[in-house]
Amino acid sequence: MKELSFFGNYKVKIVFTKEIFPLLKEKNQREKICITDENLYRIYGDRLEEIFGKNIFRISPGEKSKNMGVVLKILEFLCEKRVSRRGKIFGFGGGVVGDITGFVSGIYKRGIEFSLIPTSLISFVDSSIGGKCGINLKNCGKNYVGLFNHPSEIFFDFSLLSTLPQKEVNNGLFELIKYGFVLEKSILETFEGNLTQSELKKLIKISIQKKISVVIEDEKEMGIRKVLNFGHTFGHALEKVSNYSLYSHGEAVGLGMIYALILGKNLNITDEEYLKRGIYLIKKINGLKLKRKHRWENLLNSMSMDKKVDRENSLLFVLTPTPGNFLFKEINDFTILKKTYGEFLKWI
């Protein structure tokens, strides 16, 4: 087991391990509860039962599980199992499991400890780090209700990524390339070639470091942390108008980054060459397509409802002037956004 603590003031213990199951078994914890999803349970159920016995709560995989109904069922499960405030929850899964685990741990008996074991690429490079735990509200938007609640440890075991379907890998690659556009241009350079397993591992570690350094600087997203929302303003709107059923989160962010690049070009922030290179690299991941021609009015309405909007009649976009750099732009002239959507439809 190797413990990395490259960031002294990030309070979460980061553990890189090649043996997650023996490590969890060793943990001398009295009341251990696991939250995972049905897909993961099918693959790892026996190993999880050796550690957690019957203290495993399984959710249906996917974004639709991030709702208050599921949260309530888990709270009742914890109560039935008589979990005390000294208990600890282990979230074994991707972003959805991580969000739900952090949320439930933050409110059960006013807060109990939790750890995360990310199993998807997207949770390795983004969602497991930074303490955001959000639940969707049907008519309002994604992650509308939530907490900043950090796990005590995050265990990264790369072997868990080996069972991921390609679709899930792609999902994470979109979040990974995001760091290339706004924070670390060498990531874009690596994406130019054919990504090998060892390069991917290296990129994952860079992303983890980048994410931690942003979170240390601005935990509550009052400033620089907003950079991580590159591609998310439009991406979240796509997810919402399609009722979370047409696009994975990564795909929506991929499309959102294309939208942000075109918007940057229309505002004379991103030049034509960078725009073309950026769209080429994003589409190289899986040849992204818009699944339906969504009505502009619905998309705009969803963007305006996004919880990240804090000023009426204006939307904040993260744009990229040059590879690895970013700037924030508040837009209150929505005609440019509509024009950008028209161009976006031609690029896609």
**Least CB distance to ligand GLY at residue 175 (A):** 8
- State the residue number with the nearest CB to ligand GLY: 228
**169, amino acid identity:** V
**Pairwise CA distance, residues 301 & 329, whole Å:** 19
- The count of C-alpha atoms lying within 13 angstroms of the C-alpha of 345, restricted to the half-sphere facing its C-beta, is 10
**Least CB distance to ligand GLY at residue 108 (A):** 23
**Pairwise CA distance, residues 270 & 290, whole Å:** 23
Residue with tokens 């690596």: 190
**Least CB distance to ligand GLY at residue 18 (A):** 27
| Residue ranges binding ligand GLY (CB under 6 A) | 126, 130, 132, 221, 225, 228
Q: Give 112 or 228: the residue with its C-beta nearer to ligand GLY.
A: 228
Q: Give 277 or 307: the residue with its C-beta nearer to ligand GLY.
A: 307
Angle 272-286/166-182 helices, nearest 10 degrees? 160
**Least CB distance to ligand GLY at residue 12 (A):** 13
Q: Give 32 or 225: the residue with its C-beta nearer to ligand GLY.
A: 225
Q: Give 130 or 264: the residue with its C-beta nearer to ligand GLY.
A: 130
Q: Give 55 or 127: the residue with its C-beta nearer to ligand GLY.
A: 127
**Least CB distance to ligand GLY at residue 211 (A):** 7
**What does 56-110 look like in DSSP terms, one character per residue?**
EEEE-SSGGG-SHHHHHHHHHHHHHTT--TT-EEEEEESHHHHHHHHHHHHHGGG
Q: Which two tokens stand for residue 14?
A: 């980061």
**Least CB distance to ligand GLY at residue 95 (A):** 9
**Least CB distance to ligand GLY at residue 10 (A):** 14
Cα 76 from chain centre: 27
**Least CB distance to ligand GLY at residue 232 (A):** 7
Q: Which two tokens stand for residue 161?
A: 């990524």
Q: Give 220 or 295: the residue with its C-beta nearer to ligand GLY.
A: 220
Angle 272-286/185-192 helices, nearest 10 degrees? 60
**Is residue 327 helix, strand or coil?**
strand
**208, amino acid identity:** I
Nearest to 249 by CA among 190, 317, 176, 322: 176
Q: Could you tell me if 48 and 97 are in contact, meaning their C-beta atoms sit under 8 angstroms apart?
A: no
Q: Give 134 or 264: the residue with its C-beta nearer to ligand GLY.
A: 134
Q: Give 63 or 126: the residue with its C-beta nearer to ligand GLY.
A: 126
Query: 160 CB contacts (<8 Å, ≥6 apart)?
Result: 20, 117, 118, 119
**Pairwise CA distance, residues 68 & 15, whole Å:** 31
Q: Give 98 or 323: the residue with its C-beta nearer to ligand GLY.
A: 98
Residue 273 burial (10 A CB sphere; 0-12, 13-18, 19+): exposed
Q: Which two tokens stand for residue 6?
A: 């490259």
**Least CB distance to ligand GLY at residue 132 (A):** 5
